[in-house]
Structure 1
Amino acid sequence: MEPLEGFAVAVVREDGKWRCEALEIETLRELDAAITGLRKIRSTGAVFGMLDVDDEFFLLLRPGPAGVTLLLSDSAAALDYDIAADALDLLRVEPPDDDDDDLWPAGSLDLLADIGVPAAELQVIIDDVDLYPDEQLQMIAQRCGFEDQFSKVLDTIQA
């Protein structure tokens, strides 16, 4: 099995402070591994995951008592990546046709609305085709206010 490029970061907001930590690289392959990794993090505040898979697309995951809320930045990724296909399965969304070149997200665009990124703003970030997924996630981190913590974790992952 070919190794995947990218990163998986857990983001926690507790007592008004942000904390970021790297998740196992295996979470880029399996949605269940990503969800399990996030559920292991104990916090009274918001916990969510930011995954950049192969510099092709990103996933935002937010586990909660009623299940997992997620956003897949490009549904067409389900044609090539198991984790994206699993995300569409969880969302009960059909993957696009092979010849569909349109970029369309699937899931909850208001996933981060309560912590600083309204749905319309997240849509604008996803629609910017000139940005790579890591740059899109960096923009989200900046909008929410944890860019410094996010960058430090990325520096350790990519070192």
Structure 2
Amino acid sequence: MVELLENVDFALAAYQVDGEWRVAELAHDLEADVASLAHALRRLPGEAGAVALIALDEDAFLVLRVTGAQVRLLLSDLTAALEWELAASALEHLGLVLDAEDDDPAPVGDLALLADLGVPASELGELLDDFDADDDLVVDELLSDLADVLGFGELFDDVVGLEPEPTGA
């Protein structure tokens, strides 16, 4: 039996058409594996491929990028593979096996997967460090920050339903 994306808070795809970002929800009936998500992303237009931002039960997230045949990803917490099939599929795609003794929620994958879109590996690493260090920071806020750096923060917030932060008077 294939697990569906029922434990996913949201799964969004972002892509550029004529230099403008577009954001769309990925269907919730997709199979919970990297291959089916990559297939869905390949069907989208996009000059630089498509990026998926996926939140797993407010505890972990997956960033998946597809450009042509290439699939690159970043999983925020390798121990998430113990709870979610999608995270386990991400580890499998990366060729990693979770050791039963692994209890360090370290990120795994490609920190440079968004470098050509304006998010260098160092900046993505800093976002992950902030997420690990701040117990009050939730996945949707972190992904909103990432979407903002990429240039589609408002679109992301609209689709996810996040309220904009109040500006100082």
What TM-score, normalized to structure 1? 0.87
Report the alpha carbon displacement of residue 46 of structure 1 after superposing the two structures with TM: 3.4
Correspondences of 1:44-63 after superposition (within 5 Å): 44-63=47-66
Compared with structure 1, are the counterparts of its residues 55 and 28 closer, same or farther at alpha carbon in structure 2 (3 Å cutoff)?
A: farther
Decide whether the 8 Å contact of 2:9 with 2:56 is kept in 1. Answer: yes
Match 1:118 to one of 114, 120, 126: 120
Q: Match for residue 105 of structure 2?
A: 103
User: Does structure 1 residue 90 correspond to structure 2 residue 93?
Assistant: yes
Report the alpha carbon displacement of residue 83 of structure 1 after superposing the two structures with TM: 0.7
Decide whether the 8 Å contact of 2:16 with 2:45 is kept in 1. Answer: no
Which has the greater radius of gyration? 2
Decide whether the 8 Å contact of 2:54 with 2:63 is kept in 1. Answer: yes
Tell me how many residue pairs correspond in the alignment. 155
Partners of 1:114 and 1:67 in 2: CA distance:
14
Q: Does 1 or 2 have the higher relative contact order (CA < 8 Å, sep 6+)?
A: 1
Report the alpha carbon displacement of residue 87 of structure 1 after superposing the two structures with TM: 0.6
Decide whether the 8 Å contact of 1:72 with 1:107 is kept in 2. Answer: yes
**Structure 1: tracts of 5 or more residues without a match:** none
Report the alpha carbon displacement of residue 11 of structure 1 after superposing the two structures with TM: 0.3
Compared with structure 1, are the counterparts of its residues 29 and 92 closer, same or farther at alpha carbon in structure 2 (3 Å cutoff)?
A: same
Report the alpha carbon displacement of residue 97 of structure 1 after superposing the two structures with TM: 2.9
* RMSD of aligned Cα (Å): 2.1
Identity %: 37
**Structure 2: tracts of 5 or more residues without a match:** 163-169
Q: Match for residue 80 of structure 1?
A: 83
Report the alpha carbon displacement of residue 121 of structure 1 after superposing the two structures with TM: 1.0
Correspondences of 1:130-141 after superposition (within 5 Å): 130=134, 131-141=137-147
- Structure 2 SS opposite 1:63: strand
Q: Match for residue 154 of structure 1?
A: 160
Report the alpha carbon displacement of residue 35 of structure 1 after superposing the two structures with TM: 1.5
Decide whether the 8 Å contact of 2:42 with 2:68 is kept in 1. Answer: no
Partners of 2:89 and 2:32 in 1: CA distance:
10
Report the alpha carbon displacement of residue 5 of structure 1 after superposing the two structures with TM: 4.1
What TM-score, normalized to structure 2? 0.82
